[in-house]
Structure 1
Amino acid sequence: MIARAVYTSLLLFSSAGAQQIWDIWVTEYDQSALFQRQTWSTPINFVSPGDIGQADIVVDDGTVYQDIDGFGAALTDSSAQILSSLKSQNSGAYWNLLGSLFDPTDGADSAALSMLRVPLGASDFSPYAYSYNDEEDTSLSEFSLDAAPWYLWNTLYDIKSIAGGQLKIIVSPWSAPGWMKDSGSMLGGTFLGQYTDTYAQYLFKSVQGFANKGFGVYGITIQNEPENNNPTLPSMLLDADTEANIASKLRSLLDNGGFGYTKIIAYDHNWDQAANYPVQAINDAYDAFTGAAFHCYGGSVDQQMSFHNAEASKELYFTECSGTLYTDWWSDIKWNMDTLVIGSLSYFSRSAMFWNLALDGNGNPKLPGASSCNNPGCRGVVTVNDDGSYTLNQEYYALAHGSRAIVPKDPGGPFGQRIGVSVGGYLNYELQVGAYKTGRSTSENTDWNRYSLVVLNWQDGANGGSASPVQTTIKFRDQQATYSFPVGVTTLWWFAEN
């Protein structure tokens, strides 16, 4: 595949100004194709405009929105444990799986995921409840990241060896150490404001500790789900004003400690409070926060606009949503694409991330006694089976289609940016579309950008009729190409002069 990608690029750049679609990846609603690269003997050419199709996608590369940081999931202790067990049982399958998830090579048969979210201390997917400093000690003299299971770090090293320099790590605590809360435990409770300075030091030492282990921290949230108090799992109530105070202290520590590049991200909770908590926190400590992060478990994705409209200069991230066991594959694909992979980006998110990267077929292992993800349970992006095999789930295919549209074309090159797109035609309502532009980094290719579309065709016959492709025209810079989008998800791209 790499050889073909090189050939395609050479052919493209030798054709003066010609815009051609060679690269198309398809996942069909009946699973007859799963993130499958289409083979073409001749390209789809952009030509002089004619009649429009059943749908008409109009790409406006003169309108550029946010940079996209990438797609990914959380490497919880449980995910690391599952993957580590696979490595011991079937090393070949383990490395194949990591390649399918993280290999950034242009044209590789992989999702090229570029973001990982790692809990700081225990979550509800850990073998036991722990922090990095369980002893009551405001000097944090007992602080150690090695309180986490050894397999977390080993798995993270292996992932980094595949993903390379494009991997971005966001870290999030599920709780402060129990002695900093009124519960006296990692499980539930409310943060005690008297420990604001100590907790900022704790988070700084976490970033510092990751760096010492060889992992730069791209972003840190002050608290995962700060309005969730659950006495059965690591969690903590933290009001917006106190979060802002911690962020201000942490920003100063990071800047003075050589970590000025690490972003501090507010909120990290559900859409339904997008106009309230994160706006209040950021207004309290405007210079400390880079932006805010959101989850899918309350409200709707369009509420991201409430935050964006209030804080237009701040960044927006989507960091958590979990698949559920035993649900319908195609229904999940439709929702994930419409709401998260295409949808959250269309509402200014720079990322789309799922919850556990890997779990077993029962949604385990979990923290003993935790009440979350029960009946029927949470599904990982991949399922690792008892026999040493694995299954790529619907979340994988959704992420893969989004990721391949925005990952760098060139090693070390820029990620994609969202650009303007609209859909006309009498079947326009059957297509949900995201459009992206990816710049170049190599000197001989500085005048050529990659332009990508991610398209969901959900004309599946569910409301009568039959499942059928949508014959579509694609307009770009006064030229027009034609492609029939099958029912399912399609990612395609072409190159054009800058």
Structure 2
Amino acid sequence: MRQLMCLRSARVIAAASLVTLPSAVDAQLPTNQRLYDTLTTMPDLRASRIAKFEAEPVVTGRVIFLGNSITQGGDWAKLTGDSTVINRGIGADITFGLRSRLADVTKRKPSRLFILIGINDISKDIPDAVIAAQYRALVDSVKSQSPQTKIFVQSILPLNPTVKNFPQHYDKQERVVAVNVLIRRMARETGATYVDLWPIFVDRQNRLDASLTGDGLHLNQQGYERWVRFLKQRRYLASAGSDSVAVWMTTGDKSALLARQPTLAFGSVANAGPTITVDGATTYQTMAGFGYTLTGGSAYVINRMPAAARDALLRELFTRDVSSLGVSYLRLSIGASDLDAAPFTYDDVPAGQTDPALAAFTIDAARADLIPVLKRILALNPGIELLATPWTAPRWMKDNGAYVGGSLRPANYAAYAQYFVKYIQAMKAEGITITAITVQNEPLHPGNNPSMLMTAAQQATFIRDHLGPALKAAGLGTKIFLYDHNADHPEYPLEILSDSAAKTFVDGSAFHLYGGPIEALTTVHDKHPDRNLYFTEQYTASNGNFAGDLRWHVKNLVVGAPRNWSRTVLEWNLANDERFGPHTDGGCTTCLGAVTIDSSSAAVTRNVAYYIVGHLSRFVDPGSVRVASTLEGGSKTTSLPNVAFRTPAGRYVLVVLNDGNTTQTFNVGFAGRRVAHSLGAGSVATYVW
């Protein structure tokens, strides 16, 4: 009973510590440290390990792995091939324990610090928020005491309850997922790099792969080797100042499709061609992610694949690995888009009836395919961001009572705002967090099925007086994006942003490029630099040309959108079948998915949009910052559109297109060094160092 009371007291004091945590420069531990120490097991191991650490000579600039028994179990020097790597794992340790021994780490001023902690906190029922707060204090302390250290916060690993050596852990899987979400958010807010290990260790049942563990909690040698291989593939373990440059290329003739090329090396010798100079000191916007729209039709064709094939495809698309595409941002339709089999909304009632109380609201139409596919995607990539967009309001809210065209009746503005609230809440109840919404897909195109006309004045009124206040009253942090249509009408978002009351609720503006120049995004940015830009849709056609589409989309979207302040690059449909369906009657009949899934054999064909997005999504992690890249020394015939980024891990990524008609040889310059390369006409390459 006394032990239970102590645990309860610890929880109470821990909750209080959320508002009394010491600052990063305060060496004092929180007052509840001793209470949490009573939960620590294996004190003799802890004492002996700490004594060993303190006896070691202080050598700065090394790589350190810090954590609990999962870290302790790895022979990191041997695994990494670097005898200087330091293991600072202690079995049974918790976040409080790491903080109490952090001075041994920070005095060594590590070049890179890999942290994995939290499963023992969870097993001891330390609250999620306290774990996250302690983790934040840990990261803040490292940043304060060793500011040159690159910090890598690694996700807590999945568990496997079929091997019951540690029963106190095995009912904690949901909490592991929840804490990982908090850790990811903390990493983003503190500038640490979040390393999502979950996808490389999880099996099809979302458990720790049994082949990688002997007890359902710890890793075997194969597991550690997979871990290090992943860190090296992502270049988290790349040595600082490395001269090597990795290259991936796609050519218009398909002879190379996002294919790895021979590694290059920076040096002092350059060729006579022009130079693309990357300047990491000049920074622009932070990138949110890259991807597609997961339409209802996409979910339908994916969900009808055999389980093994479906799982393999989703892993290929959504895990963060250099052999996967690494999609990090998805757009969804609220109700049907034109790439569903038939139009619908989430509050359909018989003709002639209305439902102002939204009593008929239900997301049941999404339960057959969309929600199951989304849940599997989230299991593979819990940090993926989701943007949701309606193609139409419910018919009874509109002045024409139809799915196609018409406008929202002003009398139904309040009900429609609650429709958004109910949708976001219903998805949240399914474990699906909607990051942002746009108010209306293509509001100036009322001819699609479904669709709805909404003028800028109407959208401003709806956001200012109804949608913004409704989201705020419901306690929802969902972002609102304006417009979501072509770049030929930048005056649309500008009109709304000129309304200061409406602007208060707005995060940014979304664009497509079926009309107008991509530079229109900069026009909006320059007038409202305190609001964001997003590129959210562009389709490739079934009757298109691979080489031509590759060239146009890379030039205008992959390069053009980020260079004009967009935080996202999203192509249109993720997947369809061999007949370019499903689609509504009147919907797009020539929209080519990033992948085509044969309805009979489930064979997957990767189309041009797969490679267009892949040249960004595989290499540019969310949270990366666009940096300056400038072409110098070119002639009138030089055409090398390019864009560069610095990732949270400190890597640089440069994408270059040869938009000319002949092979072009050029240099990439960085920090006084250069490397030469050649690209054939219409080819695109991603360079990583």
**Same fold by TM-score greater than 0.5:** yes
Distance in 2 of aligned mates of 1:237 and 1:381: 28
Question: 1:100 Cα deviation (Å)?
Answer: 2.0
Q: What residue in structure 1 maps to residue 355 of structure 2? A: 137
Distance in 2 of aligned mates of 1:187 and 1:25: 44
Q: What residue in structure 2 maps to residue 403 of structure 1? A: 617
Distance in 2 of aligned mates of 1:282 and 1:145: 32
Q: What residue in structure 2 maps to residue 435 of structure 1? A: 644
Tell me the alpha carbon deviations over residues 349-405 of structure 1, each in whole angstroms, 9 at most, x when there is no partner: 1111111110112211111x21x424xx11111111132101110000010001123
Q: Which runs of 5+ in 1 are unaligned?
A: 409-414, 441-448, 462-467
What does residue range 87-486 of structure 1 map to in structure 2 within 5 Å? 90-105=306-321, 107=322, 109-135=323-349, 136-148=354-366, 150-165=368-383, 167-230=384-447, 233-248=449-464, 249-260=466-477, 262-274=478-490, 276-284=491-499, 285-367=502-584, 369-370=585-586, 372-374=587-589, 377-386=590-599, 387-407=601-621, 415-426=623-634, 429-440=638-649, 449-461=650-662, 468=663, 470-486=664-680
Q: What residue in structure 2 maps to residue 54 of structure 1? A: 273
What does residue range 61-76 of structure 1 map to in structure 2 within 5 Å? 61-76=280-295
Tell me the alpha carbon deviations over residues 79-101 of structure 1, each in whole angstroms, 9 at most, x when there is no partner: 11111122xxx333222221221
Distance in 2 of aligned mates of 1:179 and 1:58: 57
Distance in 1 of aligned mates of 2:394 and 2:513: 26
Question: 1:74 Cα deviation (Å)?
Answer: 0.8
Distance in 2 of aligned mates of 1:483 and 1:70: 28
Counterpart of 2:253 (choices 22, 25, 30) is 30
Question: 1:450 Cα deviation (Å)?
Answer: 0.8
Q: Determine helix, strand or coil for the equivalent of 1:273.
A: coil
Name the aligned partner's letter for residue 325 of structure 1.
S
Tell me the alpha carbon deviations over residues 37-61 of structure 1, each in whole angstroms, 9 at most, x when there is no partner: 2354xxx33334x455422011111
Moved more, 29-38 or 208-217: 29-38
Q: What TM-score does the superposition give when structure 2 sets the normalisation length?
A: 0.63
Moved more, 306-315 or 170-179: 306-315
Distance in 2 of aligned mates of 1:7 and 1:418: 23
Name the aligned partner's letter for residue 36 of structure 1.
A
Distance in 1 of aligned mates of 2:541 and 2:468: 37
Counterpart of 1:77 (choices 286, 296, 299) is 296
The CA RMSD measured in Å over matched residues stands at 2.0
Residue 222 (structure 2) pairs with residue 21 (structure 1): no
Q: Which is richer in strand? A: 1
Count of matched residue positions in the alignment of Structure 1 and Structure 2: 453
Name the aligned partner's letter for residue 473 of structure 2.
N
Residues 1:141 and 1:309: Cα distance change in structure 2 (over 3 Å)? same
Q: What residue in structure 1 maps to residue 217 of structure 2? A: none
Question: 1:305 Cα deviation (Å)?
Answer: 2.0
Q: Contact conserved, 1:405 with 1:454, CA < 8 A, in 2?
A: no
Tell me the alpha carbon deviations over residues 444-480 of structure 1, each in whole angstroms, 9 at most, x when there is no partner: xxxxx1111011123444xxxxxx3x33222212222
Q: Determine helix, strand or coil for the equivalent of 1:312.
A: coil
Q: What TM-score does the superposition give when structure 1 sets the normalisation length?
A: 0.86
Question: 1:24 Cα deviation (Å)?
Answer: 1.8
Tell me the alpha carbon deviations over residues 84-133 of structure 1, each in whole angstroms, 9 at most, x when there is no partner: 122xxx3332222212211113x3x1110111111001121122222111
Question: 1:257 Cα deviation (Å)?
Answer: 2.4
Residues 1:53 and 1:400: Cα distance change in structure 2 (over 3 Å)? farther
Q: Determine helix, strand or coil for the equivalent of 1:252.
A: helix
Q: Determine helix, strand or coil for the equivalent of 1:95.
A: helix
Distance in 2 of aligned mates of 1:303 and 1:325: 28
Q: Contact conserved, 2:642 with 2:655, CA < 8 A, in 1?
A: yes
Question: 1:174 Cα deviation (Å)?
Answer: 0.6
- The percent identity for this pair of structures is 34
Q: Contact conserved, 1:78 with 1:127, CA < 8 A, in 2?
A: yes
Instruction: Mark the structure with the bigger radius of gyration.
Output: 2
Question: 1:310 Cα deviation (Å)?
Answer: 2.0
Residues 1:150 and 1:51: Cα distance change in structure 2 (over 3 Å)? closer
Residues 1:22 and 1:11: Cα distance change in structure 2 (over 3 Å)? farther
Question: Which structure's relative contact order is higher, taking Cα pairs within 8 Å and 6+ residues apart?
Answer: 1
Residues 1:188 and 1:76: Cα distance change in structure 2 (over 3 Å)? same
Question: 1:416 Cα deviation (Å)?
Answer: 1.0
Deviating beyond 6 angstroms after TM superposition, the runs of 4 or more aligned structure 1 residues are: none
